[in-house]
Structure 1
Amino acid sequence: MEDNKKSKPASGFPLPPKKKKTSSGTKRWIKFIWLGLIAVILGISGLFFAVSQGFVGDMPDVKDLDNPDIYVASEIYSSDNQLLGKFEKEKTIPVTYKQLPPYLVYALQAKEDERFKEHSGIDLKSIARAVYFGGDRGGGSTISQQLAKLLFTGQASQNKFQRAFQKLKEWCVAVSLEKRYTKEEIITLYFNKMDFLFNAKGIELASKVYFNKSASQLTLPESATFVAMLEAPRRNNPYRNPERSKNRRDVVLKQMLDTGYIDQSTYEQAIATPITVTFSPIEKVEEDYSAYYKFYLRKEIQQYLTEYEKQTGKELNLYKNGLKIYVTLDSKMQKYAEEAIKEHLTSLQKNFDNEMKYNSNRPYYNLNKKQIEALMMSAVRRTGRYKQMKAEGMPEDSIMMDFKTPTKMTRFTWNGEEEIEMSPWDSIRYHKQIAQAGLMSMDPQTGDIKAWVGGINWQHFQYDHVKQGKRQVGSTFKPFVYATAIMHLGMTPCSQVSNATYSKGNWSVPGNGAMLTLKDAIAHSKNPVAIRLAEMVGTKNVIQTARDLGVTDPIDTSLPMALGTSDITIYEMLGAYSTFANFGNYTKPEMIWRIEDANGRVIKEVKPIVKEVMNEMYAYTMIDLMKGVTEFGTASGELKRRGVQAAEIAGKTGTTQKNSDGWFMGIAPKLATGVWVGWEDRATHFRSTGEGQGAKMALPIWAIYMKKVYADKTLNISPEDKFIKPSDWTGSCSDLSGLRGGYGDEGGLRTMDEIKNPTPPPTNHNNSGPKKEENINEKVNTTDDIDFNK
C-alpha cells in the first residue's frame, strides 16, 4: 500500500502526456509528399519558363501590337515599273479607349471576364470553375488570354497535348500583356484585333459593315451583339444568322443585368429591340487574281529574308519594313491572262451548266452516294467554318446540322458575287461545279515569269493552280518520251513506229495498225506510238529526262506513264517545255528580280539558274515536232478558228481520263505559256471528249491571251517571230546523224535489253517522291482505268 501511494503523483502537479513515437514509414511518406510538392512547383515554374522563352515552340511578340500605324508596307513593282500590289498589315481602323462606348466595355467584361479589373492575366477562380463544371458554366479564359490567343496564327490544334501547350503559351503571353499594358489598353487592343468577318477587322470597321456607323455611336443592343459574336463570329453573325444572333445577344444582356452593369428596365428595353443590320461589306481589291501570285511570292521572299538574316544578323519584316520587291511579271501580260481566263471560262461554264441539268448527281459522274458523301465531308473539314466550330468544342452532329441549315451568304458567279440564302453544305457543292483554271507565262530564254494566274477568285477559291496544285498532265507528257527516244535511240522526226493496238496483260491501247512517223504521231497524239517508244527506251530514261527538264514531282514508273498519268504542276511543266525553246538549256522559272530595303540597299538579287540538258539540235527537233501539233495536228483547228495559227507556235494538247483535266502547252519564240482547266474534283467533268478535251478547255485561253499579247506592240512579241534554228539545221532528218544517241555513243548499236534496262547515270534525283494521300479523287484515276483513246 505504501508503494502504491508513493507511485501516485501529487494532485497539483500532473505529468506531461507521453509522446507517441512517429514511425519511420510515416516520416518517409511526409518527406516524399514535401519533395513531391517542391518538384511539382519547380516543374510548373520550369515549364512556364520554358514556354515563355519559346523553348517549346515559337511565341508571338506582344510588341507587334505597338504602333500599328507606323508599319510601312512593302511594295511590288512589275518589270514595266507598275505598282502591282503591297504586302501590308490587315486593313483596320484603330480606335482609342475613349472612342469605345461604355456599354461595349461593360458587355465585354460581363460576358467574358467579370473579374477583369482584379486579376493579372490569369483568373484561377474561373479556371477552377471551368474545370469543375466541364465548361458548362463558362470558360476560364480572361480577356487578356483571349487577346493572347489572337496573336497566334492558324487554327488551334485538335491534338489534346498540343492544345495544352497552346493554353500554357496563352497564359504566358497574357501575363506579359498585363505587365506591358494597362487594363484599358488591353480592352482597346482586343477590340481592334478581333475579326468580325466580311473583311471587318476591328470594331470600327465592324460597326461600319453591320450598322453603317462609327463604333462610338453603338447602342447597348448593338454593343451586346458584337460581344456575342466574339464567341462564334459565324454562328452568332447578325447578318447570316439573325435569330441566333439575337438569342446570344440577349444572353449577354442578361449577364450585364446579373453583374449590375444595367438595371431591369434598361435590360427589358434592350431585349425588346430587334437587330437591324445595315449591311455594307468592304471589298478587298487584293482578293482577286493577284492574290495567287502574291501567295507564292510571299513564300519566296520570306526564304530570301531568312537567308539575309542568317548572313547579316539583321531581321527584316515584309509587312512593316517598307521593302521594294521588283518582280518579272509584266502588268499588261498579267492583265491579258486574267481577261483570257474570264472570257473563256464564262462561256465554258455555261456549256457545263447546260449539261449538268440532266445529271441527277450534279456535278459528278460515275460516283455512288458513298463516294460523293466522302468528297463532300473532306471539303467540309477543310473549311474555316468547320475548324472554328471544332475548336469551340461543338459535337460533330451539331456542326453538320449547322452546315445543312440555310443562311445568308455570297457565292461566286462570273457576273460577280451573288447574295443568296443557302446552306453551307449546298454552297460547297455549288462551288465544286465551277470550272477552275491556271495559267503561267514565261520568257523561255531568261526564265522570267511574265504572267501568273493561279485561279479564278481568291476569296472563294484559295488554292493556287500554278505551283500548289498538281494534276494529271495527259498527253502533254509525251514530248518527254519523244525527246528521250530521239536522244537515246537515235530516232528522227522521220522514224516510223507502229500505231497498231498495243496489248499487255489485262489492258490495251487502241490503234489503227498503220506505221506513223514521229512527227505525225505526236501531231495527232497517238497513244500506241507513245507507249511503244517508252517501252523501247525504258521508263527510267524517260523519268531521267523529265528530271533533267526540272520536273521534281513524283512520276509513275509503269508503262502508262507515257500517256501522262502523273500529277505535275503547271510551273514545272512550263519550265520543262521552255528548255526546248532555249537551245536545250533548262532555266529555272523565277518571279523575283531584286529585293531592296527602304533605303534602296539590295537585299537579294536573283541570278538565273541554268542547266544544259540536251544538244540544241535535239531541242530544235522537239520544237519542229510540236509545230506539227499546231500546224496540222490536234491544236490546229482551234488555233485557226481563233486566228493565231499563222504565228510560229510549238505546242501540245493534253486530256486526262474521263476529261477531268484539259491542258495546252504553247511555245512562241519569245514566250512560253501553259494552261490547265478542270474542276476541284476529278469526278467533275464533261461527259464527252468533244467538249472536255484540252483543245476545247485550255487551248482557247492560250489563244485569247496570245492574241492580246500580239496586238500590244509595246511588248515586242510578234506573230512574225521565228524560232532560231541551229546553224547545222537543214530541215532534213539526217541532221541528227552523228549526234550522241541510243544507237551507241560511239556509233555502235545497243541490244533491246540494254535499251530497256539502261545503266542509270549518276544522279541525286529522287524519282519516287512523297507518297500520295489516298482519297476518292485518286481512286477514280488509277492507271488500270485510263482512257487510252486520247
Structure 2
Amino acid sequence: MNTSDSSKKTILQKFNDALLLHRPWFKKTVKVIWILFLCIAIGFPLYILSVRYNMFGLYGEMPSLKAIENPENDLSSELISADGVSLGRYFRYNRSQVTYEQLSPELVNTLLLSEDRRFYKHSGMDFWSYVRVVWGLLTFDPAGGGSTITQQLAKNLYTLNPEMDGPIAKLGKYPRRIVQKTKEWIISVHLERNFTKEEIITMYLNTTEFSSNAYGIKVAAETYFNKQPDSLNIVESAVFVGMLQNPSAFNPNLHPDAAFKKRNEVLYKLYSYEYIDKSLYDSLKVTPIELKFAVQNQNQGLATYFRNVLRNDLIAWCKEHNYDLWDSGLKIYTTIDSRMQRYAEEAMTEHMTKLQAEFVKQWKLRNRNPWVDENTGGEVKNFLAKKIKRTETYKNLVSRYGTNSDSIEIMLNKKKKMTIFSWKGERDTLFSSMDSLAYYNKFLQSGMMSMDPTTGAVKAWVGGLNHKYFKFDHVKQSTRQPGSTFKPFVYGKAIEDGFSPCLELYDISPTIQVPGGTWTPYNADGTRGSGEKMTIRQAMARSLNSITAQMVDKVKPDNVVDFAKRLGIKTKLDAVPSICLGTSDVSLYDMVGAYCGFVNLGLAIEPYYITRIEDKNGNVIENFVPKTTLAINEATAYKMVYMLKGGVEESGGTSLGLSYDLKKDNEIGGKTGTTDNASDGWYIGVTHNLVTGVWVGGDERSIRFPSWDFGAGTKSARPIWDKYMLKVYRHPETGYKKGYFKRPSKMEGSLNCSDYVTADQDSTYVPDLEPVWKPN
C-alpha cells in the first residue's frame, strides 16, 4: 500500500470515527429511528382508522357520516306572537341559528384574522399553526392554540359529548384529550368535504357558548348588545371573538376589565394584519364596551305567565309527537298580539301600583294585617307561622336541624341581604325569611285575559304582577269565586226559558228553602231590597242580589249549572241557590271564554292560543283551530248582550263610570263582581270584537280588601279594563276598533222592552215564598 492509499484510509477512519458509524450503539440507534419512523408512517394511519371505526370499542362512537353531513345543533324552541314578535324561547341552552348572510362582515373578518387567518387555504387542519405551537413550546413562548375554526366546530358539535367516550377516556384527562383531538381531526376533514367555508363559519358561531346562558351568536348579540348579528360593529365583534377562548373569564358583564383587555388584543391583531389603520386602532382601543345586557329567561319579556302555562301544553304535545321542546328548534306561532299584550301589562301596572299603595295605607290605618278570619272578622291567628311551614325554606331547615329544634326559628328570623320586588322597582334590603313572607303576602295580585269572541284567539294574557317574584298564574291556574260576574248565566237561562230582559220584578230578597233551613241573600247595601219595581235588565245592571235570587229560584240551580257548562265553564259548580251570587270557584280563563258565547251569537268557542307549530326547517307539523259548539240560540245570546249593555246604559249600572272616550260611538257591555267576603274583585267587559276579563285579590283567600266598597269590582278590576281598552283604541293598527255587536239574522229593528214582553207573560213577578219582605 502506497503512502497516498494509507493517507486516504487514515482520513476515512478519522471521518468514520467522527461520525461514530463503527460504534454498535449508534447502529442500534439508527435502527430504532427507522423502526419508529415506520411505526409512525404505518401506525399513525392505523391509529386514525382504529379511532374512526372504534376498534374493539376502545375509543367511543364517532358520529355517522350522515350526522357529520347534517349536524344536529341543540336549538331552543321559539314562541312567536301573531304580529311576528318573538315572545321568548324554551331552552336547555339558549341557542338560535342565523345564516351566513345574517352575520356582519366585521364579525366574520375579525373572527378569521384573530382565530384562523389561513382558513380559506387549509382543509380543516393548519400545518403551520402546529409548527408555531411546537416552536412556542420549545422556546417557552406559547403562541396560542393550533386548532382551526373547523376543528373548533367539530369540538362544539361532537367531541365534547360524554356519550361518545370509550374505555380509554376513563384512563384520565390526557388519554381522553388525545382521543378527542383525533376525533376532531377526522370530523374536520369530513366537515371540509361536505360544507362550504361560509357554512362552517356560520355553524361555528351558531354552536359556540358566550356565557350568561347565551349559546350561539344570535342570542349572544341579543343578550349583550340588544342587537342582531348583522348589526355588530368592529368593537362588539372583537368582544365576542375575545370571548371564544374563555367565555366566562372574558364575559364583559362579569369581568369588564378582563374583557376590555382581551378585546384590545383582538383589535391589535386587526391592526397588525392591516385590516384597520393606526388611527382607527388608537381610537377603538380606548372606546368603552357599552353593554345593553339582559339575560334571556322565563321571567323577562312579554307574556311571561302565558309562556309558563303554555310550556305544560307544549311538553305534552312534544311527547305525543316525539319532539323535545328544549332542543328541537320548534317555531310555535301564537294568537297573542305583542302590542295588546304590552297594553294589558301596562294597564295592570298603572292601576295596581296605585291600588296597592292605598291597600297598604288602609290596613295601616286599621293597625292590622290583611289576612282576615272568616268567622271572627279579626286577624287570622298564626297566619305566617302556619304558612312558613309550607315553604321549601322551612322544610330544608327541618331536614338540617330536626323538627323541634330552636335553630329553625332562629334561622327563619335571621336577616340577610335580599333583593325584593316593589312597584318602584327592585330594591336591596335586609330581610329574614319571616320578613319576606309577611312582605309578599300583603301584595294584591291580578289576572287578565283578552280574547277575540269570533275567532277564539287569546290576544293578551297577564297572569300576575311579576313572574320573577310571583309565579302563580291567575288566568288559568287559579280558580276563585266570581261573585256577580256569574249572574249573566242565571239571567241567560231565564231568557232561554222565555223571560224577557224587560220582565219587571220587585227589588225584594226572597227566602228560599234549602236543605237544613232557608237562605235569604242581601244586596250590597246590606238590606233585603228597596221594594222598587224594575226590569231584570236594570237589576243585572245594578247587580242586585235580590232579583237574581228570584230568578234562580224560578229557573232552578241545576239548569243554571247546565247553561254555564254549555258556554264553557269547566270547574265543578254546586247546584244550590247561592250559585246565583257566584259562590262556586271558576277560572278567569273559563269566564272570558263563556262570555264570548253571548257576543258570538250563541256559538261557544273555546279559547285557543296556538295557531301552528313548525319544525326547525320551517315545515308545518300541525295547524290548530278553535273548538266551537252551538250552546244557545242567536236570540238568547243577543238578548244577553242587551242585558250586559245595561251596565253601561241603565241608571245605577256598574259600568257607568267607564271613560267617555270608550263609550263614544261604541257599544259596550260589562259586568262587575265582588265576593261577599271582600277577597275578590272582578270585571268582564265585552265589545263586538273583544271580551276581556280582570280579577284582583290576594293570593290567599283570607287576604281581604280593607272594606267591601274598597274591593268592589268597579274600583279594583274595572279600571284595568278601562285603561287597557283605551290603549287598544288608540292604536288601530292592532285591528281592534270601535263598533257594534252582531245581530241575529232573523231579528229586525232595535231591541227594547215592548219587543219582547208578550201578552200572555206577566211582566211582574213577586216571590211567593214566605216571609216576603216589603218596603214600609
* Same fold at TM > 0.5: yes
Q: Cα gap change, 1:645/1:482 in structure 2, threshold over 3 Å: closer, same or farther?
A: farther
State the one-letter code of the partner of 1:399. Answer: I
Match status 1:557 vs 2:575: yes
State the one-letter code of the partner of 2:416. Answer: T
User: Secondary structure of 2:666's partner?
Assistant: coil
Structure 2: how far apart are the matches of 1:506 and 1:712?
49
Matching residue within 469, 473, 497 for 1:460:
469
The equivalent of 1:496 in structure 2 is 504
Structure 1: how far apart are the matches of 2:172 and 2:668?
67
- Give the drift of 1:182: 4.4
Question: How many residues are matched?
Answer: 521
User: Secondary structure of 1:638's partner?
Assistant: coil
The answer on whether the counterparts of 1:644 and 1:703 sit within 8 Å (CA) in structure 2 is no
The answer on whether the counterparts of 2:75 and 2:94 sit within 8 Å (CA) in structure 1 is no
Structure 1: how far apart are the matches of 2:564 and 2:171?
61
Matching residue within 666, 681, 684 for 1:647:
666
The answer on whether the counterparts of 1:652 and 1:664 sit within 8 Å (CA) in structure 2 is yes
The equivalent of 1:111 in structure 2 is none
More divergent stretch after superposition (593-602 vs 390-399): 390-399
The answer on whether the counterparts of 1:437 and 1:675 sit within 8 Å (CA) in structure 2 is yes
Q: Cα gap change, 1:292/1:381 in structure 2, threshold over 3 Å: closer, same or farther?
A: farther
The answer on whether the counterparts of 1:501 and 1:512 sit within 8 Å (CA) in structure 2 is no
User: Secondary structure of 2:500's partner?
Assistant: coil
The equivalent of 1:161 in structure 2 is none
Match status 1:89 vs 2:102: no
The equivalent of 2:452 in structure 1 is 443
- Give the drift of 1:194: 14
Structure 2: how far apart are the matches of 1:631 and 1:405?
57
User: Secondary structure of 1:659's partner?
Assistant: coil
- Give the drift of 1:640: 3.4
The equivalent of 1:319 in structure 2 is 326
Structure 2: how far apart are the matches of 1:180 and 1:648?
76
Match status 1:287 vs 2:294: no
Q: Cα gap change, 1:206/1:634 in structure 2, threshold over 3 Å: closer, same or farther?
A: farther
Alignment of 1:384-463 (within 5 A): 384-390=392-398, 394-395=402-403, 397=405, 398-463=407-472
The answer on whether the counterparts of 1:333 and 1:450 sit within 8 Å (CA) in structure 2 is yes
The answer on whether the counterparts of 2:647 and 2:654 sit within 8 Å (CA) in structure 1 is yes
Match status 1:622 vs 2:635: no
User: Secondary structure of 1:637's partner?
Assistant: coil
The equivalent of 2:598 in structure 1 is 580
State the one-letter code of the partner of 1:474. Answer: G
Match status 1:76 vs 2:79: yes
Q: Cα gap change, 1:635/1:181 in structure 2, threshold over 3 Å: closer, same or farther?
A: farther
Structure 1: how far apart are the matches of 2:540 and 2:586?
20
Matching residue within 702, 708, 713 for 2:727:
708
Residue-by-residue CA offset, 1:270-326 (whole Å, 9 max, x unaligned):
xxxxxxxxxx99755531452200112112222222332xxxxxx211111100100
The answer on whether the counterparts of 1:642 and 1:700 sit within 8 Å (CA) in structure 2 is no
State the one-letter code of the partner of 2:717. Answer: A
- Give the drift of 1:668: 0.7
Residue-by-residue CA offset, 1:569-591 (whole Å, 9 max, x unaligned):
11000010000011100011000
Matching residue within 527, 530, 539 for 1:512:
530
Q: Cα gap change, 1:580/1:508 in structure 2, threshold over 3 Å: closer, same or farther?
A: closer
State the one-letter code of the partner of 1:631. Answer: E
State the one-letter code of the partner of 1:287. Answer: N
Structure 2: how far apart are the matches of 1:615 and 1:322?
44
The answer on whether the counterparts of 1:444 and 1:671 sit within 8 Å (CA) in structure 2 is yes
User: Secondary structure of 2:299's partner?
Assistant: coil
The equivalent of 1:476 in structure 2 is 485
The answer on whether the counterparts of 1:655 and 1:694 sit within 8 Å (CA) in structure 2 is yes
User: Secondary structure of 1:427's partner?
Assistant: helix
Match status 1:538 vs 2:545: no
User: Secondary structure of 2:721's partner?
Assistant: helix
The answer on whether the counterparts of 1:649 and 1:667 sit within 8 Å (CA) in structure 2 is yes
State the one-letter code of the partner of 2:350. Answer: E
Match status 1:354 vs 2:356: no
- Give the drift of 1:425: 1.0
User: Secondary structure of 2:424's partner?
Assistant: coil
State the one-letter code of the partner of 2:343. Answer: Y
Residue-by-residue CA offset, 1:65-123 (whole Å, 9 max, x unaligned):
xx99942111111111111111112569xxxxxxxxxxxxxxxxxxxxxxxxxxxxxxx
Q: Cα gap change, 1:645/1:358 in structure 2, threshold over 3 Å: closer, same or farther?
A: farther
User: Secondary structure of 1:675's partner?
Assistant: strand
Structure 2 length-normalised TM = 0.61
Match status 1:694 vs 2:703: no
The equivalent of 1:345 in structure 2 is 352
Structure 2: how far apart are the matches of 1:693 and 1:294?
30
Q: Cα gap change, 1:644/1:732 in structure 2, threshold over 3 Å: closer, same or farther?
A: closer
Matching residue within 656, 669, 684 for 1:665:
684
The answer on whether the counterparts of 1:635 and 1:699 sit within 8 Å (CA) in structure 2 is no
User: Secondary structure of 2:637's partner?
Assistant: helix
The answer on whether the counterparts of 1:648 and 1:720 sit within 8 Å (CA) in structure 2 is yes
- Give the drift of 1:178: 11
State the one-letter code of the partner of 2:737. Answer: S
- Give the drift of 1:537: 0.7
- Give the drift of 1:486: 1.1
Q: Cα gap change, 1:737/1:501 in structure 2, threshold over 3 Å: closer, same or farther?
A: closer
Structure 2: how far apart are the matches of 1:178 and 1:409?
46
State the one-letter code of the partner of 2:618. Answer: G
Q: Cα gap change, 1:316/1:389 in structure 2, threshold over 3 Å: closer, same or farther?
A: farther
User: Secondary structure of 2:361's partner?
Assistant: helix
The equivalent of 2:32 in structure 1 is none
The equivalent of 2:630 in structure 1 is 612
Structure 2: how far apart are the matches of 1:303 and 1:442?
24
Structure 2: how far apart are the matches of 1:182 and 1:475?
69
More divergent stretch after superposition (376-385 vs 626-635): 376-385
Unaligned segments of structure 2, at least 5 residues: 1-62, 96-161, 178-209, 214-222, 224-245, 260-291, 513-517, 523-527, 770-776
Unaligned segments of structure 1, at least 5 residues: 1-62, 93-173, 218-279, 309-314, 757-790
State the one-letter code of the partner of 1:615. Answer: N
Structure 2: how far apart are the matches of 1:482 and 1:589?
23
Q: Cα gap change, 1:369/1:700 in structure 2, threshold over 3 Å: closer, same or farther?
A: closer
More divergent stretch after superposition (716-725 vs 587-596): 716-725
The equivalent of 2:121 in structure 1 is none
The equivalent of 1:297 in structure 2 is 310
Structure 2: how far apart are the matches of 1:181 and 1:500?
85
Structure 1: how far apart are the matches of 2:167 and 2:560?
63
Structure 1 length-normalised TM = 0.60
The answer on whether the counterparts of 2:503 and 2:536 sit within 8 Å (CA) in structure 1 is yes
Residue-by-residue CA offset, 1:744-769 (whole Å, 9 max, x unaligned):
xxx9xxxx9xxx9xxxxxxxxxxxxx
Q: Cα gap change, 1:603/1:371 in structure 2, threshold over 3 Å: closer, same or farther?
A: farther
State the one-letter code of the partner of 2:79. Answer: I
The answer on whether the counterparts of 2:694 and 2:720 sit within 8 Å (CA) in structure 1 is yes
Alignment of 1:99-110 (within 5 A): none
The equivalent of 1:529 in structure 2 is 547
Structure 2: how far apart are the matches of 1:559 and 1:181?
73
User: Secondary structure of 2:659's partner?
Assistant: helix
State the one-letter code of the partner of 1:73. Answer: S
Q: Cα gap change, 1:369/1:520 in structure 2, threshold over 3 Å: closer, same or farther?
A: closer
User: Secondary structure of 1:573's partner?
Assistant: helix
The answer on whether the counterparts of 1:638 and 1:700 sit within 8 Å (CA) in structure 2 is no
Residue-by-residue CA offset, 1:166-211 (whole Å, 9 max, x unaligned):
xxxxxxxx999998974978x99xxx9999xxx9xxxx999999x9
Q: Cα gap change, 1:553/1:193 in structure 2, threshold over 3 Å: closer, same or farther?
A: farther
Structure 2: how far apart are the matches of 1:562 and 1:679?
23
User: Secondary structure of 2:653's partner?
Assistant: coil
Alignment of 1:8-407 (within 5 A): 70-89=73-92, 182=170, 212-213=254-255, 286-288=298-300, 290-308=303-321, 315-366=322-373, 372=380, 375-377=383-385, 379-390=387-398, 394-395=402-403, 397=405, 398-407=407-416
Residue identity over aligned pairs, in percent, reads 35
Structure 1: how far apart are the matches of 2:544 and 2:592?
22
Q: Cα gap change, 1:547/1:403 in structure 2, threshold over 3 Å: closer, same or farther?
A: same
Matching residue within 720, 724, 727 for 2:743:
724
